[in-house]
Structure 1
């Protein structure tokens, strides 16, 4: 294979002034067409806004226009006769492309970046360069020509659009992950998982705690918060991961960054804080030692704002080779935490209401049940899954005169604190009426009339069983409730056949009692519909499954309840499940 030969080293091209003089002289002699064309070409090259250069085979500048000279920050004369890498340090990639074009003869178009020699502005810029080989008429290689246009603005716009798209996707991910749960701890963990290691080496979320600092103070004061989530990036020393535990109560002193952020409602960034500053932001001496061991060189605090008020704050730390926090970092983190704060605020409010209702319900259900003589009881209560609100289930056992016992299992319609409060009203009402010695049907009728007159905003279903062990019988009545299960000694379980009256609180009335034989050893199991209702399944199917459960009336009551729950209670119930088992002796 033969290669084009290199021409002798060329001298720099004639100057524009020399070309103009030659052109004028030739025109005066009547032979100036070629030089006129040369002069026109030079005027085009000298005046184009594109940067133009001609290099010889050693990449020495033979020609360049003022545009290129301006890019490089040197005069045209300072370029001519000198190699490109010598004139422009850092031009290695462009020089490599030029050498490749000289070697192969194939033109190339490339985008390259760099910085102009302007000491006032040190920002990256981009150029589009087109290179092609110049050959003499006899085929010899003269050098390479380069035409360069700056494309910085277009690339910056494209990068801006890309960053905007990435930012939008990040905010959507934040809303989906943090706002996709009503569990406050899970929502806070989702936020720290987003932040670490993408934005920080360490992150923690502290929230205002009803048992600590309920509201953000107006001025910096000591605050007692609850740490809901903490995360550390891979590489953080094992003994320090995590530096705190989720659920731990954190006391922040008045001088701390956390206290200032909750008060000012603005982010605070500490890049390379000195030891005195570190001592101020550390809640305790032990925590200070932990922070030092973590070797955090930069820390950022951002408030979690909902409706103009903080519900907590996020702490982020960077260590080792991670860069310091920049204003762009903080701007993006503000957007992210603002989006996350909405989900965390909803979850905190729900969690507080859920736990309040649950504690109310447990408090009522924990009241000692004292049945009359000849009756033993056992109960079980399973609250709904974390994603559902607490319901208004309750059970009760009231010892009555003449050795009788009234059993009650009920369910207030709806969920939450108001349902739990309504449950307590129905429970107290039925207890008071039971002591008047009313039969179950009259007791339900009076309870319905009273609840309707009091305008209780929730209706309730319930089943009553008045047990008389001495007589070996019971009287049952129901207000819109599922029927209890009866298991007599030596017989198969069966559902009580009861006329169903309307729920309490409707004012409709119309309840009936039905006597039922209960010889000694008979088991009665009352329950709420959370045990047998399934989405997409007929309740009769679940009731049949309950009746088909292998239950021996003589087994210990707690074991019987466990058997029923194991066979029927759903793993993730959408409603509470309440059971009350009673056996006559």
Structure 2
């Protein structure tokens, strides 16, 4: 066990216990020995007992870093008898100890004591696990300043460091789980919630991560291995090196179909993760959900991967796929457990986002259906309306507009806003819209229509109140009659460009039960423009509604311009994209009798301009 270039063992310079006993006997038999010599010998004996019996490891090495003395405690730590150390170099006894000779050489050169933790392995434990020792070292000099060697006291601190490391890992784990909760649970935007999870996983745990969400129309409510599973890819995250390769593995928004009986279908049906370690080509094909994409998965060069279900109790939300590639260390069982906890935490936030998104889309589709119902205007009136749902982080509300042709060439304009958001608000909106239409065709005045609508709402026990503005246009008489139930006032722009925010009497909203509605009639010259809107256009959380109304009243509208251009002006100047509420805007312009001009390119009256479809 001694290397070929090792210096031959030298006799130790320190006395052995037998030497000390012989010296003590000689001192007692000698005549003329001074009393202080006996005390010195007693002190030497006590010191030796202290070193030999010390539970910490103690060693003395000469200037060539050869062992001169080692106590039994250190011999046990090193895994060799004490006598096997004497005269041998440190590196020959403990070749797997990190930087030990370099450290002691520095103590010999500088004379500065060192307290340091070193790691490595010794013959004491037959285990590949690394161990650590805390050592305090100082140089030994004689009275003339000659360097004799170095002494050290050593304690093994492996368990203490492992315990501290375990606490650190536990703290990091909790922090990571909290981060997963915050990042996925702080938004109701499905794309953001899923992307937050993917970004949390890459590059911290994986080189590639994809988050898929179950498509309710393509997956049975209770998934099983007998049915194919269809998911939609909502989020992706990769390291820069994999961007080009993984771009061919599927884009955001695409459907991912897992064949019936496939390993992936088994994972989702049983809610149990699938782990691949050093997968071969056949194993990687299991990760390819749709036919035709196998080669792209093989080209990634993964050394390990995990497919984890996203579920909240018995409800399957989706799945997460992660890979490590190239020189990245393969995923371990510990990684699998942590990733499972992460996805469990994230599943709750993503499930909330899924439910909200589906409700948001359902309410939006209801709005589409209601506002796309055929609308007709009387002669001499052209209209154009637009509904703008709030951003994906807010629920669809109950805003609406309507136009209705009435006898005697009159046209009724309606703009309303049901309190609240979501499907119930959209459903209430449809009820109010139907009630107002039914009452309007009876030929009543706007104030009487609102009064009857109020009574009907109370009779039907509608649980949502609604603001509403009615405008009855009579181009023949060149006048318009308004009645307002708690709504934003309209803007009138006459042919000469004069803009007036009409100050109408305001009654309580419909459904409150305090209705006492009045009618106000104002002149409406041919070529006049009316702009009706809901409060989402002019009100913001960080802006007083009066400020929005002043902006509304001073819009640069030229009444002769095409209605689409005028509507774009309204939208661009008031920027409803920053509103937390949805917006309905209705423009109406009267024409001279007999005029066939239609600057909306002959769009159907009441045409609705919808933004793009929702992201899910």
Q: Aligning the two structures, in what range does the TM-score lie when normalised by the shorter sequence?
A: over 0.9
Deviations 1:374-409 (A, max 9, x none): 211111121112222111011111122332221111
2:6 maps to what in 1? none
1:182: how far off? 1.4
In the alignment, the residues of structure 1 paired with residue 276 and residue 459 of structure 2 have an alpha-carbon distance, to the nearest angstrom, of 63
1:259 paired with 2:265, answer yes
- 8 A Cα contact 1:205 1:227, kept in partner: yes
1:553 to 550, 555, 559: 559
1:385 to 391, 407, 422: 391
2:132 maps to what in 1? 126
- 8 A Cα contact 2:79 2:125, kept in partner: no
Report 1:339-350 matches (<5 A): 339-350=345-356
- 8 A Cα contact 1:9 1:56, kept in partner: no
Report 1:194-233 matches (<5 A): 194-213=200-219, 215=221, 217-219=223-225, 221-233=227-239
2:449 maps to what in 1? 443
More displaced, 301-310 or 109-118?
301-310
2:376 to 370, 393, 397: 370
Deviations 1:451-484 (A, max 9, x none): 1110011011111112222232222211111122
2:510 to 504, 518, 526: 504
Change (3 A) 1:24 1:33: farther
1:189 maps to what in 2? 195
2:118 to 67, 88, 112: 112
Report 1:31-430 matches (<5 A): 33-91=39-97, 93-117=99-123, 120-213=126-219, 215=221, 217-219=223-225, 221-236=227-242, 238-241=244-247, 243-430=249-436
- 8 A Cα contact 1:106 1:132, kept in partner: yes
In the alignment, the residues of structure 1 paired with residue 464 and residue 25 of structure 2 have an alpha-carbon distance, to the nearest angstrom, of 105
In the alignment, the residues of structure 2 paired with residue 350 and residue 582 of structure 1 have an alpha-carbon distance, to the nearest angstrom, of 35
Report the secondary structure of 1:402's partner residue: coil
In the alignment, the residues of structure 1 paired with residue 364 and residue 47 of structure 2 have an alpha-carbon distance, to the nearest angstrom, of 88
1:205: how far off? 0.3
Deviations 1:203-259 (A, max 9, x none): 000111223226452556421111110111121262433632111100012344432
Report the secondary structure of 1:413's partner residue: strand
Report the secondary structure of 2:240's partner residue: coil
Residue ranges of structure 1 left out of the alignment (5+ in a row): 1-7
1:474 maps to what in 2? 480
TM-score (norm 1): 0.93
Deviations 1:49-108 (A, max 9, x none): 111111122211121112211112112222222111112112361212222222233322
In the alignment, the residues of structure 1 paired with residue 314 and residue 216 of structure 2 have an alpha-carbon distance, to the nearest angstrom, of 19
In the alignment, the residues of structure 2 paired with residue 327 and residue 463 of structure 1 have an alpha-carbon distance, to the nearest angstrom, of 64
1:569 paired with 2:575, answer yes
Change (3 A) 1:10 1:97: farther
| Alignment coverage as a number of residue pairs | 578
Residue ranges of structure 2 left out of the alignment (5+ in a row): 1-8, 592-616
Change (3 A) 1:20 1:368: farther
Report the secondary structure of 1:426's partner residue: helix
In the alignment, the residues of structure 2 paired with residue 214 and residue 12 of structure 1 have an alpha-carbon distance, to the nearest angstrom, of 84
In the alignment, the residues of structure 1 paired with residue 479 and residue 413 of structure 2 have an alpha-carbon distance, to the nearest angstrom, of 14
Change (3 A) 1:226 1:28: farther
- 8 A Cα contact 2:97 2:122, kept in partner: no
TM-score (norm 2): 0.88
1:196: how far off? 0.7
In the alignment, the residues of structure 1 paired with residue 97 and residue 382 of structure 2 have an alpha-carbon distance, to the nearest angstrom, of 93
More displaced, 313-322 or 247-256?
247-256
In the alignment, the residues of structure 1 paired with residue 125 and residue 152 of structure 2 have an alpha-carbon distance, to the nearest angstrom, of 26
- 8 A Cα contact 1:196 1:202, kept in partner: yes
Change (3 A) 1:48 1:308: farther
Q: CA RMSD in A?
A: 2.3
Change (3 A) 1:92 1:118: closer
1:536: how far off? 4.8
In the alignment, the residues of structure 2 paired with residue 29 and residue 218 of structure 1 have an alpha-carbon distance, to the nearest angstrom, of 98
Report the secondary structure of 1:229's partner residue: strand
1:517 maps to what in 2? 523
Report the secondary structure of 1:100's partner residue: helix
Report the secondary structure of 2:421's partner residue: coil
Deviations 1:151-194 (A, max 9, x none): 22332233233323333332333233222221101111111111
